[in-house]
Amino acid sequence: MTCLKPEDRGPADGNAGSLDFNPFDAMTPRLPSEADKTARNGQRVKSNDVTPTGVYKPNYNILTPHMRSPDYVQMSTAAAITLGVMNGKMHRCACTRCLNLLLTYPEGCRANCAYCGLARHREAERDYADRNFIRVDWPAVPMEEIVDIVARDGENSPFHRMCISMITHPNSDADTVTVLKKWTDRITADSIPVSILSNPTTMKRNDVKVLKDLGADIFTVALDAATPALFGRTRGKGVNSPHSWKKYWEVLNDARDIFGNQKFGAHIIVGMGETEHEVLTLVQQLVDMGGHSHMFCFFPEKGSLMDHLPATPRDQWRRVQLARYLIDYVGVRIDQMRFDEEGRVSDFGLPQGELDTIIDAGIAFRTSGCPGKFAEDISACDRPYGDSPPSDIASFPFQPIKKDIKKIRRQLDMRDRALLEV
């Protein structure tokens, strides 16, 4: 068995001299303030009413055009570069394999999640289409133009998957259907399958069914917080936000019934105050239901209610990343693992040799998400640098090489295999 001894650990990369996990009490968000009436609900953008022309790249020096789904959607900077509507290069990545589309409205998302750059409390400070989200800008692109490019590229498209990200807005359910139809009218589900990153708060069971019937392949629920208490503090009443743990689970259970085995999952952010045991219990629960977990490492998004808090220490993140991979893809169960008094993983439940092989393969440390065309355990959604800067990578958007594995082993406080074999 592989035993870690937390008390023996020295400072790991990225969190020298601090705790090697983010405890609940240290991760309290700031309280949100409500914007002045004149800035609420996208008033600025709607009263200026600037007509959009083509692609809009977030720019605080010009008036934000009046853009609205389903005609317009936003996409990550990585997706815009890969699609060819924006210039740029990504550190150690040629492209992204997931075309992630985000619904957009001047009113923005009406929720107030504490870790999110899109949250409602920012409406006085920045128009919705200009807000940073998972560390990057999200250019807005006409949906017709996106479908034209992808359909034209056909088999040569770099994308292995498309994902529609819903937000909390009264039109979000209907517009998700329209965006999905616009896609499936021109692009077959076999060539580039579609995932839905849902917003349960506005959804009913039949909405889930409609998306399945229209050809969506995978349905995910962004639980994000790993426990009911954390959920309430970061996404519910704690920050004047409308979400509830109960409703999210209701829709997650609907997704299991309607989309079926291996075709549903949940997003989880690690390091917002849950213990490693708590988050891995959730991972096991999802696997036992027949689904998967897609994980992010908490990063303090600029402008969010948690931007003053520490990113997840790399050793906590690596332990959870590895343990989650073992539960999701290797058949190890949480009850085979051992945890210390702080809930940290102290034993992964596998013989050292087997664990070494998995660590050295590196897949466990890649970005997790819906699969692409390479392998079931390699995510199409690689979200380059969505949860860390490139200088201290949390989720690897590419295959980690020897020097990366060496660093990962240091972060796990495990010696290099080559050294072990000497």
Give me the least distance between CB of 197 and ligand SF4, in Å please.
9
Nearer to ligand SF4, 226 or 358 (CB): 226
**164 in contact with ligand SF4 (CB under 6 A):** no
Q: Is 118 in the site for ligand SF4 (CB under 6 A)?
A: yes
Of 255, 315, 258, 321, the C-alpha closest to 293 is 321
Determine, following the binding rule CB under 6 A, whether residue 323 of this chain makes contact with ligand SF4.
no
Given a contact cutoff of 8 angstroms between Cβ atoms, the answer to whether 111 and 241 are in contact is yes
Determine if 197 is a binding residue for ligand SF4 (CB under 6 A). no
- Alpha helical stretches, state H, 272-365: 276-289, 314-325, 352-361
Residue 101: φ, ψ to 5°: -110, 135
Position 230 contacts ligand SF4 (CB under 6 A):
no
- The piece of 45-53, 113-121, 151-159, 331-339 that touches ligand SF4 (CB under 6 A) is 113-121
Q: Which CB atom, from 12 or from 111, has the smaller least distance to ligand SF4?
A: 111
| Distance separating alpha carbons of residues 381 and 368, to the nearest angstrom | 7
Stretch 119-158 residues interacting with ligand SF4 (CB under 6 A): 119
Q: Which of 235, 229, 274 is nearest to 119 (CA)?
A: 235
The answer to whether 12 and 410 are in contact (CB under 8 A) is yes
Pull the structure tokens for residue 138.
Answer: 């999200």
| 422: number of Cβ within 10 Å | 6
Q: Which of 116, 146, 223, 378 binds ligand SF4 (CB under 6 A)?
A: 116
The strand pairing partners of 264, in sequence order, are 219
CA distances (Å), origin 140, targets 50, 120, 128, 311, 313:
14, 19, 11, 28, 33
CA 369 to chain centre: 8
Minimal distance in Å, beta carbon 118 to ligand SF4? 4
User: Which of 50-58, 109-117, 252-260, 325-333 is the region at the interface with ligand SF4 (rule: CB under 6 A)?
Assistant: 109-117
Among residues 111, 163, 192, 287, the one that binds ligand SF4 under rule CB under 6 A: 111
Q: Tell me the window of 47-55, 89-97, 110-118, 273-281 that interacts with ligand SF4 (CB under 6 A).
A: 110-118
Q: Which is nearer to ligand SF4, 118 or 334 (CB)?
A: 118
Residue closer to ligand SF4, measured from CB, 197 or 326: 197
> From the CB of 250, what's the least distance to ligand SF4, in Å?
16
Coarse DSSP helix, strand, coil percentages of the chain, rounded to the nearest 5 percent: 40, 15, 50
| By CB under 6 A, residue 223 contacts ligand SF4 | no
Specify whether the CB–CB gap between 326 and 363 falls below 8 A: no
Cβ nearer to ligand SF4, comparing 77 with 199: 199
Residue 95 to residue 101: CA distance in whole angstroms? 16
Retrieve residue 80's tokens: 């815009």
Per CB under 6 A, does 187 bind ligand SF4?
Answer: no
Residue 5 CB, shortest distance to ligand SF4, in Å, is 37
Distance separating alpha carbons of residues 230 and 224, to the nearest angstrom: 9
User: Which listed residue (167, 208, 258, 345) binds ligand SF4 by CB under 6 A?
Assistant: 167
Closest distance to ligand SF4 from the beta carbon of 132 (Å): 12
Whole-number Å distance between alpha carbons of 41 and 105: 9
Of 109 and 350, the one with the shorter C-beta distance to ligand SF4 is: 109
User: What is the Cα–Cα distance from 235 to 179, expressed in whole angstroms?
Assistant: 26
Shortest CB 402 distance to ligand SF4, Å:
36
Tell me how far apart the alpha carbons of residues 381 and 367 are, in angstroms, rounded to a whole number.
7
Interaction between residue 113 and ligand SF4 (CB under 6 A): yes
Our CB check for ligand SF4 shows the closer of 114 and 370 to be 114
For ligand SF4, the binding residues (CB under 6 A) are 109, 111, 113, 116, 118-119, 167-168, 199
